[in-house]
Amino acid sequence: MSSGSLFSPGRRWDFLAKRAPVWRRMTPPQIFVGSFILLIALGTIGFRTLPGIYIGARLDWLDSLFTATSAICVTGLIVVDTADYFTPLGQAYILLLIQLGGLGMIAFTSLIILALGGRLSLRHEAIAGSGLDATPHIDPRQLTYDVVRFTFLIEAAGAAFLYVLWIPELGWIDAAWPAVFHSVSAFCNAGFSTFSDSLVGFQQSPLSLVVIMFLIIAGGIGFLTMEESYLYFRERRRGKAFRVSLHSRIVIVTTVALLVGGAVALILTEWEHTLRHLPTGDRIVNGAFMSVTARTAGFNTIDYAHASESTNFLTILLMMIGGSPGSTAGGIKTTTFALMGILAWSRFRGDSEASLWSRSLRKETTERAVGLFVVAFGAVTVGILVLTATERGIGTGRFLDRMFEVVSAFNTVGLSTGQTSFLSDAGRWVAILLMFLGRVGPLTLTAAFTRTLSSQPRFRYAYEEVMIG
């Protein structure tokens, strides 16, 4: 029998694979990307068909797609005012899309399977446990449980604190829904608000801002790091040693450095601008909030249209970095930013390998970080170019505003200088594509549409040098 026979093992597997349902032949990246496409499609249809969700006229198809994408990709850019355009039922629908998009439909599906006593398939474990190479001691099934458990516990605690803080101003009944909405929106780093001015009205309510900041940081630090932190404190209480992974240590240190450094810089740049009317304590809290929210949350306590250019540029840099891997946040991620710096420092010192805290970093990891940065930079650059071409004469017309809008969309932040509602149809399509690309990740999207190649090529071409620098 020839090796190419239909009944040989290799050919038989290919034959059976081709006869399997499409969803069984999909790779984990394809399922991940496909779940977001499905959610966005269903969300858009919901905005067009559900009754009782609008106060005024129904959104057209493009604005429905834009709003659904913004909610599911936890961005927060809006073309209509959430507070004035949607009924409480409509806001609840937006919140459902935010929760599904923030955690991902795969996490909910996995939880339902486990709750019914089922067993996760290898495909589900591959998706739920993606990124666990950095933390091999974490079980994907336990992580799925804890992700959902931590999410609802933190959101419930945040809602309770906000409710108590907002009762004096909003009343016992009216404070309940905004507290729940903002807690979920903050933890999912979505930035949607039931207040027309976002959180500007709470500039002088430091405790409210601190609660929101905690929720944003908790949602943006990453579920792997959150799980490791939980395991660390649990084992310490039991008197056992627990080694935190290099991944989580980089995430924590980089997050703290960015939050503190960003807060100091933004306080200095806005001290005599949008914060000048506030007491000293409130200026500091609002400056810290600006640093936190720029890391993909999207709430604002100031009008960025009236902020200084230095503040907006610093915000753009923070938005580009974003949160941490495996979180509800966007951006190139804190680990990518840190690895780029570590790699540059190692090359400056003449080291052949990048290392940190007595641990060497794999070449493949640093190459992935560089690749992600290059792709993200290219996507943002093209987005800025297209938006400046399509939005001539719309809004303020300032280049920095166009740049701010593109970076906010791609990194799923949601902050704006007030240009979103003025975007043309072409500009809205650009923002939709950027939000989707930023949420699923450019490398994941690439992997979803390319064939899996062997890690060991059959041959390589001859080396030849190219001058750099």
**For 431-452, how does the pLDDT look when each residue is reduced to its tens digit (9 = 90+)?**
999 999 988 877 777 766 665 4
Average pLDDT over residues 224-243: 82
**Residue 310: pLDDT over 80:** yes
What pTM did the predictor assign? Answer: 0.85
In a domain, 456, yes or no: no
pLDDT band at 119 (very low <50, low <70, confident <90, very high): very low
Where is 273: in which H helix or E strand? none
* Least confident segment among 133-142, 179-188, 227-236: 133-142
pLDDT value of position 362: 81
Instruction: Of 116-125, 324-333, 339-348, give the lowest mean pLDDT range.
Output: 116-125
Length of the chain as a residue count: 469
Question: Considering the chain, what percentage of its residues have pLDDT values greater than 70?
Answer: 81
Q: Give me the domain span that covers residue 434.
A: 18-446
Contact 67, 85 (CB under 8 A): no
All residues at 6 or more sequence positions from 379 whose CB lies less than 8 Å from its CB, including other chains? 410, 434, 437, 442
Q: What percentage of the chain has pLDDT greater than the value 90?
A: 40
Confidence at 454, pLDDT banded by 50, 70, 90: very low
Is the pLDDT confidence value at 453 over 50?
A: no
Segment 65-100, tens digit of pLDDT: 999 999 999 898 899 999 889 999 999 999 999 998
Distance CA 329, CA 336 (A): 14
Instruction: Give the range among 50-64, 401-415, 454-468 with minimum mean pLDDT.
Output: 454-468
Interval 159-167 mean pLDDT? 95
Within 8 A by CB and 6+ apart from 457, the residues are none
**Residue 3, domain member (yes or no):** no
Question: What was the pLDDT predicted at 208?
Answer: 95
Out of 103-112, 147-156, 237-246, pick the least confident.
103-112
* 137 pLDDT tier (thresholds 50, 70, 90): low
For the chain, the first-to-last Cα distance in angstroms comes to: 58
DSSP single-letter state for residue 54? B
How confident is the model at residue 147, as a pLDDT? 79
Whether residue 458 lies inside any domain: the answer is no
Q: What are phi and psi of 220, to 5 degrees?
A: -100, -5
Of 111 and 346, more confident: 346
Give yes or no for a contact between 296 and 189, defined as CB atoms under 8 angstroms apart: yes
Contact yes or no for 417/401 (Cβ under 8 A):
yes
455: pLDDT strictly greater than 50 = no
| Burial class of residue 137, CB neighbours in 10 A (0-12, 13-18, 19+) | exposed
pLDDT band for position 231 (cuts 50, 70, 90): confident
Q: How confident is the model at residue 292 (pLDDT cuts 50, 70, 90)?
A: very high
Average pLDDT, the chain: 82
Q: By C-alpha distance, which of 183, 195, 4 is closest to 95?
A: 183
Where is pLDDT greater, at 104 or 147?
147
The one-character DSSP state at 152 is H
Classify residue 350 as left (phi > 0), alpha (psi -120 to 50) or beta.
left
**Res 7 pLDDT > 70:** no
Q: Average pLDDT for residues 169-184, to the nearest whole number?
A: 94
**204, 169 Cβ separation under 8 angstroms:** no
Give domain status of residue 6, yes or no. Answer: no
Own/partner pairs, 311-317, CB within 8 angstroms, 24+ separation = 311/266, 311/269, 311/270, 311/273, 311/274, 312/400, 312/404, 312/417, 313/400, 314/262, 314/265, 314/266, 314/269, 315/266, 315/290, 315/404, 315/415, 316/403, 316/404, 316/407
Going by C-alpha positions, the residue among 439, 428, 438 that lies closest to residue 35 is 439
Residue 9 lies in a domain: no
Residue 452: inside a domain: no
Residue 41 covered by a domain: yes
Quote the number of domains for the chain.
Answer: 1
Residue 356 placed within a domain: yes
Phi-psi sector, 281: left (phi>0), alpha (psi -120 to 50), beta: alpha
Q: Say if residue 458's pLDDT is above 80.
A: no
Structure tokens at 278: 């506030």
- Residue 23 in this model has a pLDDT that exceeds 60: no
